[in-house]
Amino acid sequence: MSFVEYGDTIKDGDTAIVFLGHESMFPVKVQQGSVTQTKYGVIRHSTDLIGKKYGSKVTCSKGGWVFILHPTPELWTMNLPHRTQILYSTDISIITMMLELKPGSIVCESGTGSGSLSHALIRTVAPTGHLYTVEFHQQRAEKAREEFREHGVEHLVTVTNQDVCKNGFGVSNIADAVFLDIPSPWEAIGHAKSALKAEGGRICSFSPCIEQVQRTCLAMEEYGFTEINTLEILLRVYNVRTVSLQIPDLGKAAEDNSSTGFDSSNPSHQGSPCANLQQGTVQFKSGVPLREVVGHTGYLTFATKS
């Protein structure tokens, strides 16, 4: 099992996603002889998972069923254990595009955190690229190494435990892109410039506060970066629902109905547009925004090494 290569069959030691619904799923490590409890009953790894195909519908002990999905960076972002605040797919998608990443790219990242962005970067640069990720916190760095090994991507990533603001990324003049998600990114701009290739490398800094953005932009200008711009991604989700809208009474419909002998009590007329008009409402399919939406997540500042 690998997060960057699809496998058909569930094997012992795999990380799989137990899918109960779009709002309910969780990861599980498949192990011979283990069981997993769900609200629909028990899943026995030996008989219900190992040897089955990913995407299979598995019946639990209480008669309910779940789907077992192959892990992807998108599913991992929604289900990973949080060690820090993470980036979600809305920001990750624009980061990978604006950094111009592709298979074979070399990327430097700090900090690793919970590994949400790291998995997406690894999948983007695979199979010939590489991610150099730096984490200041030792336990988080060790946990990240363990997860990358379990997920079959350890050959595509190097995890370093050090302070990027003091010691840099440990590489020079090879990176196609650098991503910074640290409290004081302006202190790491010089190291980011050293890690980037001679010309044309891209940098992105994620900061939740505009004061951090201001200091980072000044540092980027000082080190000669160009095309500096900051953006913010706001996601607004709409649900498609059937809504009833009031029809204004303009008088003409009633006159036309009486002149043509329309009888609203006739069952054959109940589904007609005139019947809806007579009742004063009509139904439409409409997009309705959620009452609660995700607001500000952070500012993304991009620049190019000239």
Angle at 42 between CA 38 and CA 47, to 5 degrees: 130
Predicted local confidence at residue 26, as pLDDT: 95
Q: Which residues are annotated as a binding site for S-adenosyl-L-methionine?
A: 114-117, 135, 163, 181
CA atoms of 297 and 92, how far apart (whole Å): 12
Q: Which residues are annotated as a binding site?
A: 114-117, 135, 163, 181
Q: State the sign of the Cα–Cα–Cα–Cα dihedral 163, 166, 171, 176.
A: positive
pTM over 0.75: yes
| Coil vs helix vs strand at 293 | coil
Assigned architecture for domain 76-234+295-305: 3-Layer(aba) Sandwich (3.40)
CA atoms of 184 and 165, how far apart (whole Å): 8
Predicted local confidence at residue 262, as pLDDT: 47
Query: Which residues in 261-292 are b (16+ Cβ under 10 Å) and which e?
Result: ebeeeeeeeeeeeebebeeeeeeeeeeeeeee
CB 125 within 8 A of CB 107: yes
CB 76 within 8 A of CB 62: no
Which residue ranges make up each domain of the chain? 9-71, 76-234+295-305
Residues 6 or more apart from 72 whose CB is under 8 A from it? 3, 123
Residues 6 or more apart from 155 whose CB is under 8 A from it? none
- Beta-bridge mates of residue 226: 304
CB 51 within 8 A of CB 4: no
Instruction: Report the candidate in 73, 189, 47 with the shortest Cα–Cα distance to residue 131.
Output: 73
Q: Which two tokens stand for residue 60?
A: 């639990």
Domain 9-71: give its CATH code.
3.10.330.20
Q: What is the pLDDT along the chain (306 residues), one digit of tens a residue?
A: 789 988 899 999 999 999 999 889 999 999 999 999 999 999 999 999 999 999 999 999 888 899 999 999 999 999 999 999 999 999 999 999 999 999 999 999 999 999 999 999 999 999 999 999 999 999 999 999 999 999 999 999 999 999 999 999 999 999 999 999 999 999 999 999 999 998 889 999 999 999 999 999 999 999 999 999 999 998 888 889 898 888 877 766 555 555 555 455 555 555 544 444 445 788 888 888 888 776 788 999 999 998
Instruction: Report the candidate in 36, 15, 34 with the shortest Cα–Cα distance to residue 150.
Output: 15
Q: State the sign of the Cα–Cα–Cα–Cα dihedral 32, 36, 42, 43.
A: negative
Segments in 162-266 forming alpha helices (H) = 164-167, 189-195, 210-222, 252-259
Q: Which two tokens stand for residue 159?
A: 């995890």
